[in-house]
Amino acid sequence: MATNVRVRRPATPPPGLPHIAPSSHKYPPIRQDHLSADERREAASKGYGPGRRSHSPGGLNITSGEWKLLAVVLLIAIGVRMFRISKPDSVVFDEVHFGKFAARYIKTRYFVDVHPPLAKLLITAAAFISGFNGDFDFKEIGKVFENAPYVAMRMVPATFGVATVPTAYLTLRALDCRATTALLASIFLTFENGLVTQSRHILLDSPLVFFTALTVFFFVGFSNEDKKEPFTEQWWTWLVLTGLSLGAVVSCKWVGLFTIATVGVCTILQLWLLLGDLRVSPRMWARHFFARAVCLILIPILFYMTMFQLHFLILGSSGEGDAFMSSEFRQTLGNGMEDTYADVALGSEITIRHLNTQGGYLHSHAHNYPGGSSQQQITLYPHRDDNNIWRVSNATVDGYEQYDYEHEPIVYIDHGSRIKLRHVVTDKALHSHEVRPPVSDVDFQNEVSAYGMTGFVGDINDDWVVEIEKGDRRDKESSKRLRTLRTHFKLRHLNTGCYLFSHKVKLPEWGFDQQEVTCNKNAVKANSLWYVETAAKHPQLPADAPKVNYKIPGFLSKFWELQRVMWTTNAGLTDRHMYDSRPSTWPRLRRGINFWVKDHRQIYLIGNPFVWWSSTASVITYIIVRGFLLLRAKRGYRDFDNTKVVKYDSLCGFLFVGYCMHYFPFFLMGRQLFLHHYFPALYFAILLNCAVFDLATSTLRPKIRLQIAAVLMIIAVFTYSKFSSLADARTAQWVKTWDFACHEFLDEYSQYSGVTVPTLNRTTPMATIGGEPGGRAAIVVEDKLGQDAIAPPEDEQSTAVPIGAPEPGRDVFAKDKQKEIKSQMIALQDVPVNVDEKEISAVTFTAAPEVVAEGKKEIRVQGGDVGATGEPEDQANPEVIDILAKEIEVELGEDVVDHRKPHGPLDHEEAIADQVAHELYPEARDAE
């Protein structure tokens, strides 16, 4: 069938204009950056994604105006985080720990911390460059800095806090968010009170959050490069930088493992999508896999291990962390053990170590148990000491001939040998009997003590049977007889059948916090194994007798051992603290942390409520909307065919995964947790909050969007200013669980201009009783009326912070300097004793303490010769003396019926203590 087609002739141009060819309208010129169909097909076969030849690095399309705007935001962040950073000029919060660690690095003294070393090394570098010599000890919260460059040390976390702000801006721009959205995120982070407070002190969370943000930025840049064209120079650069940043974040804190998990989940998703792309050959997919494995797994591991190598190189001297490490490890700390004799025989003087715990050596000292048998204490002591030395003798049984080890042929210790261990310093034997231990008071545990005296042979309760468990494969003799360092053995008590045992239970103060040793009838095998560490030369050994020593461990052995110690100690931080919190309370900002209280001022860690709660709301909004879209997809709706929905689903989904990975694992932890553990998750929540804002305002005109963002920024800044400096904490206590120290603040803000000197704790006035020449010993007691007979006001309050009160948790690695010499003879100086229902006095004398009577009243015994007021003993207020003497006589009366022994060992002043106690409490003396 024929059809007539009429073709319209192109219009004739007006006179004077050039003629335009019709082809120029129908076929526009090909752009130089466009890929043809064949070129796209070839690129897809090589694993390249569709795109154009021109591409900004990492997908960042930043205009010059944005760089200027970002510079202004950066200056604001610097001002917020560094303004008056020198205040306060005393130790705040965990500066107690991390400042002390910097001092240990500079002194090269070995210590152990539950956190990896990178952030601490950066703080140490700043301190070293500023001339810090490590003498300031950061001992307690509120201690004024002296000869310590604390401002330079605080500048390190402050710098990282500032750098987090532009990193967040660039991350959102790389995620294809608008400049207004990125600006909103940077302002939220700049004025987030919690992040600001954390970054102004010598703490580790600010570097942690920065490296978390940096990792996210690098990974987003890598993902953009991967979409454009893989295996280019820029692609490899972004991927390697991501791996290095992953190593840095996990080298600050183990919380960085959550960042690794976030990147790992997204990487697995990328590989999964590539596997389903038929344009990508298996060989190309393998290249993608190995490139990511090397850069995102191997590089972070190498970076992490390098930080510990630096840690070991710097800490080359013995320090407070020695006790947590094995003997092999301690050989590398400059205080190694000399070669020792391999053979152990009757008459050998040896030291014995516990195998399973780091409690240390089998130890005794001239102090008795306060209860039980009241015999000499047996403990585990972590340091080398003469009180760790024991002499191996034959067992004391009827008819057993005594062995002269100095002249008769040598007798080695075999499996089944019956021996006794004699403490060389005190000449007492290792002893056990059917008496319950003072701490582990259970039926299957017996007390272990040191019993006997010089010249006393001992009894059957001193006898032990050696049971060899295993020897070293390189030394066949070590499985047959006792060999130093090579033989693991058990000691079975001959009379009761229990095994010498120790576990991670510390004795109280009377035991100097040393580890308990018992005799366990149901002993766990691992905790009842021992080995000989040193053996002195036996008189019968030849001059060329073999010697042994610990094998010096290499880096990998030291690295793995330290990781185990860190893991075990971290998991053991289960003690509750007054300012700890659980993860369920963090998104709601239920409470903060008291960092510092002094001089009518307080530093209280609390977040910006507007930023915090709006971020939590955005997380909840994403969950609800995403769930709604899934329900619609199930009913056949094709929402995910919309490119806008797909874009924001990918963007918000990535940030939501990061939030979940950094938040929900804390629910699985039983250790101490605090609000600052939420900060990495908060960073993702803030970015997600701004991404939701970007979606909600995507249909608005730019001017309207900017106005809405400006309102949100103003609210954030106003809320920040509300909590950055409180004139009246009561008006700022929006939530009743925000436990500000309102009672510490002055009534008016203007009053602070006159407060310049820290308020000290009020010293209790003291008076001296006795001390007359030829009379009874001087006793210092509390002067309730004061030296001027004027009672102090009862409502007087001190603004000085109680030592350690704001500190979250305890420093589990800290060692009291006096504990290094616990085995020496000392006298306890402060032992509370209950007598009745109320405290009647504080009694003090120069001798060791004496427990006087039972009940609920408390008499506190302390050391000292003069009153706290510094007056001579003969100038004590007689009126006060009469009042207190009558009070003691009336209050105690006939209630004093039990004259007990003190809670702890007595020394040579015991007689003086008894005399003074009898003079004070004649009723107790008569009752005896």
HSE (CB half, 13 Å, CA atoms) of 870? 1
Query: What pLDDT sits at residue 801?
Result: 38
Class of residue 556 by CB neighbours under 10 A (exposed 0-12, middle 13-18, buried 19+):
exposed
Instruction: Return the exposure string of 15-48: e unless at least 16 CB atoms fall within 10 Å of the residue's CB, then b.
Output: eeeeeeeeeeeeeeeeeeeeeeeeebeebeeebb
- Measure the N-to-C terminal CA separation of the chain; round to a whole number of Å: 138
Q: Quick one: pLDDT at residue 122?
A: 96
Would you say 33 and 214 are in contact if contact means Cβ atoms under 8 Å apart?
Answer: no
Q: b/e string for 619-656 if b means 16 or more Cβ within 10 A? A: bebbeeeeeeeeeeeeeeeeeeeeeeeeebbebbbbbb
Output the pLDDT for position 770: 45
The tokens of 587 are what?
């998104």
Q: What is the pLDDT of residues 620-641, one digit of tens each?
A: 999 999 999 999 999 999 988 8
Tokens 């206590």 locate to: 733
pLDDT for the residue 397: 53
pLDDT at 76: 95
Distance CA 420, CA 567 (A): 38
Residues 37, 44: Cα–Cα separation, whole Å? 11
Q: What is the dihedral of CA 406, 407, 412, 417, to 10 degrees?
A: -80
Contact 205, 192 (CB under 8 A): no
pLDDT at res. 10: 59
The length of the chain is 928
| Residue 467 to residue 419: CA distance in whole angstroms | 11
- How far is residue 473's CA from residue 535's CA, in Å, rounded to a whole number? 21
pLDDT at 104: 94
Residues contacting 237, CB < 8 A, separation 6+: none
Give the span between the Cα atoms of 111 and 315, in whole angstroms: 8
Give the separation between CA 527 and CA 354, rounded to whole angstroms: 8
Q: With a cut of 50, list the residues of the chain below it in pLDDT.
A: 1, 23-27, 46-47, 51-53, 399, 727, 756-881, 883-909, 911-912, 916, 920, 924-928
Name every residue whose Cβ is closer than 8 Å to that of residue 878 and which is 6 or more positions away in sequence.
none
Pairing label, strands 464-470, 445-451 = unpaired
Q: How far are the Cα atoms of 308, 407, 483 from residue 539, in angstroms, in the given order?
A: 45, 8, 17
pLDDT given at position 901: 40
List the structure tokens of 700: 């608005």
Neighbours of 152 (CB within 10 A): 17
In eight-state DSSP terms, residue 618 is H
**H-helix or E-strand containing 368?**
strand 361-368
Strands (E), 250-343: 340-341
Which distant-in-sequence residues (6+ apart) come within 8 Å of 651 by Cβ?
A: 175, 176, 177, 691
Contact (CB, 8 A) for 361 and 352: yes
What is the C-alpha separation between 627 and 708, in angstroms, rounded? 27
Q: How far apart are CA 904 and CA 370, in angstroms?
A: 5
Identity of the residue numbered 486: R
Which pLDDT does position 722 carry in this prediction?
85
Q: Are 307 and 251 in contact (CB under 8 A)?
A: yes
Phi first, then psi, for residue 528 (nearest 5°) are -115, 15
Task: Identify which of 193, 186, 162 has the alpha carbon closest to the alpha carbon of residue 607.
Answer: 193
Q: Token pair 């409520």 is at which residue?
A: 609
Half-sphere exposure (CA, 13 Å, Cβ side) for 62? 20
DSSP string covering 165-197: HHHHHHHHHHTT--HHHHHHHHHHHHT-HHHHH
* pTM for this model (two decimals): 0.73
Measured on CA atoms in the order 521, 525, 527, 531, is the torsion positive or negative? positive
Report which residue type is found at 654.
F
